[in-house]
Amino acid sequence: MADFNSDFWHWYIAVATVISILACVWLLRWMTSGFEKGEEVESTGHVWDGDLSELNNPLPRWWLGLFYITLAFGGFYLLLYPGLGKFSGILNWTSVGAYEEEVAQMEAEVGPLFARYQQTEVLDLIKDRDALKVGERLYLNYCSTCHGSDARGARGYPNLRDRDWIWGGDPQSIKATLTNGRIAAMPTWEAALGGEQGVDEVTQYVLSLSGRASIEQLAAKGKAKYDIFCVACHGPEGKGNPALGAPNLSDDIWLYGGSITRIAESIARGRAGQMPAQLERLGEAKVHLLTAYVYSLSQQK
């Protein structure tokens, strides 16, 4: 529907359009009048190269015919479809209506398919190649902006292809992650640890948890602090806690980077990763299928 904020513009456009079309008809008639059959063709008086003179022939019939057809087409079009100001055309066609019709048609086509997928257990779905293909397409549409088109993630966005899970990798946990989203809360520790020195010590200890080279003296002091401030979430051996989204610190897989600087930054400033909830956005059937797709990724060798 045309959105004119005053009738003036509606009439301005409608009248200007009709006048232009009529003017074209008039112009064509004018250009073709005044020629008698069999009459000697006049010269325009322009002569080139001594004997090449321009004649004033009538316009060719086929060309005129095409022009009239074009004008008739334009007239019919404006009668049927919106185009003349706010006149909506006798077919009442709108782009919104056409879009809604297409969506409804699509829903009717894929609805039963998704309903069937929704009834199927995740462990069975991952054996269904067609289901996984649909899942992959959903993934590329809705998830790849954050987790990457290969699902290997990026800094701050977890890799979904490995077997390392922050929030749990069984189908129920993945489904819970997708349905409600996840909010990770790693507080800032710089003040509690007594500034940079304290952060360095704990960083050295965190390095040692995954068996990396560390400065022993600092790591020993760091362990004392770790046991006070960090065990509650990351556990005594740094294995993490999926219920809190506290990552495993002993596997040398890092969400925010594993260099000394990055680890110290995670500890000093804290982190707050958020996975947005998908249920309202995608509905149950798509969440179910995506759960199967994500689960299948980690089951590949």
Length of the chain: 301
Q: What distance in Å separates the CA atoms of residue 137 and residue 146, rounded to the nearest whole number?
A: 15
Binding mask 138-157 for ligand HEC (x = CB under 6 A): ----xx-xxx--------xx
Closer CB to ligand HEC, 182 or 288, in the complex: 182
Q: What distance in Å separates the CA atoms of residue 291 and residue 301, rounded to the nearest whole number?
A: 18
204 phi, psi to nearest 5 deg: -60, -40
Q: What distance in Å separates the CA atoms of residue 125 and residue 122, rounded to the nearest whole number?
A: 5
Q: What distance in Å separates the CA atoms of residue 294 and residue 164, rounded to the nearest whole number?
A: 13
Whole-number minimum distance, CB 90 to ligand HEC, in Å?
Answer: 44
Please tell me whether residue 122 binds ligand HEC under the rule CB under 6 A.
no
Closer CB to ligand HEC, 85 or 214, in the complex: 214
Binds ligand HEC by CB under 6 A, chosen from 122, 174, 207, 268: 174
Closer CB to ligand HEC, 85 or 114, in the complex: 114
Q: What distance in Å separates the CA atoms of residue 87 and residue 14, rounded to the nearest whole number?
A: 8
- Residue (of 261, 135, 281) closest to 196 by Cα position: 261
Binds ligand HEC by CB under 6 A, chosen from 134, 165, 204, 207: 165
Please tell me whether residue 4 binds ligand HEC under the rule CB under 6 A.
no
| Amino acid letter for position 225 | K
Please tell me whether residue 18 binds ligand HEC under the rule CB under 6 A.
no
Please tell me whether residue 260 binds ligand HEC under the rule CB under 6 A.
no
Q: Do residues 97 and 89 make contact, with C-beta atoms less than 8 angstroms apart?
A: no
Binds ligand HEC by CB under 6 A, chosen from 206, 207, 209, 297: 206
Tokens 């269904």, located at residue: 128
Closer CB to ligand HEC, 85 or 245, in the complex: 245
- Residue (of 289, 299, 279, 285) closest to 125 by Cα position: 289
What residue ranges bind ligand HEC (CB under 6 A)? 142-143, 145-147, 156-158, 160, 165-167, 174, 177-178, 182, 184-187, 189, 202, 206, 226, 229-230, 232-234, 244-247, 249, 254-256, 263, 266-267, 271-276, 278, 290, 294
